Amino acid sequence: MGKRLWLLLVVLVLGYGATMAIGFKGEKPKSGEGDVKQEWFLLPNSESVIKTDAGEMRVVRSHGGRIFEKLLHIGFIKMEPRTLFLPLYLDSNLILFIHAGQATVGLIYKDHMVERELKNGDVYQIPAGSTFYILNTEESQRLHIICSIDPSESLNMGTFQPFFIGEGTYPTSVLAGFGSETLSTAFNVSASKVSGILRKQQEGPIVYLTHSHGSSIWTKFLLLEQQDRLKHVKRMVQERTEEEKEWSWWKLLPNIFGIQDGNKKHKAPKSYNIYKKSPDFKNNYGWRTEVDGSEYKPLKNAGIGIFLVNLTAVINLNQCTKF
């Protein structure tokens, strides 16, 4: 049996339903190999790659080792209610695990726009080279996502480098590479206002979608009537030249703002809910289960398995009995 990189998720259930999650990477040893040294992801070593009032993304970076065939970073995404993780292009494979809350994930699959509604326990793959966005539409619940980031297909020697479509001083904004006239046509504002927003905007790549937070062009665009949004998006798409077709993230805009595509749905990969699988082991103190490519094909393509452990907190260790 070949090597498989496993992502371990340990969920500790505390007193009033609060949860905590940690992760590390390791390999299942081949038969006869004996113990294999494991390299741990230490959460105190995580770094914040995105942080705004609306949310944060932290990443624990892997630097590889002799027993691992490839790098695997672990990401932790937290989004406040009614927020948007702006459309971005990522040259790394992404496996999402919805730890708490619900999310709408939109991405471009084979040059067509698709959306998936994800809930607690769902696992979903976003292939390398995709442009996607994440939307938390809940009114009062935060969204927590744990994700594996496989940079093996990255052109930057295994580094994690997102390119955001929207505003923000970091990471890199793709939108800043387009002319003010094109953007003003799309968002129905003056070119001078677009230039000012792009120059002064400090909201960052995770933004609120409410009237009381900020004045980003995304919020302004959202306030337009649906037919007006559709009209401006169509005009913007028509102005794109054929040689720029690879920037097909323009097709994301109608879905972000509720404009339905008249074409039929495209068969992009579906999600898999790990909680619907019967535990491989269970007793009074918790349970564990694992999912690999035999249950969810995208995991096979990525060479990754997910190992989920749910532990019940014990108040008095002296009362414990042997498993």
Decide if 262 is inside a domain: no
What is the rounded CA–CA span in Å between residue 35 and residue 265? 47
- Ranked by mean pLDDT, the top range of 2-16, 82-96, 275-289, 307-321 is 275-289
Q: How far is CA 267 from CA 111, 114, 115, in A?
A: 12, 8, 11
Q: What residues form DSSP beta bridges with 96?
A: 124, 147
Q: How would residue 8 be classed by pLDDT, with cut points 50, 70 and 90?
A: low
Q: How far is CA 259 from CA 170, 243, 272, in A?
A: 28, 25, 26
Residues counted in the chain:
323
Q: How would residue 308 be classed by pLDDT, with cut points 50, 70 and 90?
A: confident
Decide if 224 is inside a domain: yes
Cis peptide preceding 171, ω within 30 of 0: yes
Decide if 297 is inside a domain: no
Decide if 101 is inside a domain: yes
Q: What is the CA radius of gyration of the chain?
A: 21
Burial classification of residue 112, based on how many CB atoms lie within 10 Å of its CB (0-12 exposed, 13-18 middle, 19 or more buried): middle
Share of the chain above pLDDT 70, in %: 43
Which tens digit of pLDDT belongs to each residue from 15-53?
Answer: 333 333 444 444 444 444 444 444 554 555 677 788 888
Decide if 165 is inside a domain: yes
Q: pLDDT higher for 94 or 195?
A: 94
Q: What is the CATH number for 114?
A: 2.60.120.10
Q: pLDDT higher for 160 or 301?
A: 301
- Ranked by mean pLDDT, the top range of 65-74, 184-193, 199-208, 270-279 is 270-279
**3-state class of 56 per DSSP?**
strand
What is the rounded CA–CA span in Å between residue 26 and residue 3? 10
* Domains held by the chain: number: 1
Decide if 305 is inside a domain: no
Least confident of 209-218, 222-231, 242-251, 269-278: 242-251
Nearest to 290 by CA among 279, 276, 302, 303: 279
Question: What is the number of H-type helices and E-type strands within the chain?
Answer: 6, 18
- Domain of 251 in residue numbering reads as 5-29+38-256
Pairing of strands 304-312, 5-13: parallel
Please answer whether residues 82 and 111 qualify as being in contact, where contact means their C-beta atoms are separated by less than 8 angstroms.
no
Decide if 108 is inside a domain: yes
Which tens digit of pLDDT belongs to each residue from 170-218?
Answer: 444 445 445 566 666 665 666 666 665 555 445 567 888 765 554 455 5
Residue 298 has pLDDT above 80, yes or no: yes
**CB crowding 9-26: b at 16 or more within 10 Å, else e:** bbbeeeeeeeeebbbbbb
Decide if 19 is inside a domain: yes
Question: Which structure tokens are listed for 230?
Answer: 């559709």
What is the rounded CA–CA span in Å between residue 183 and residue 190? 9
What is the rounded CA–CA span in Å between residue 17 and residue 79? 19
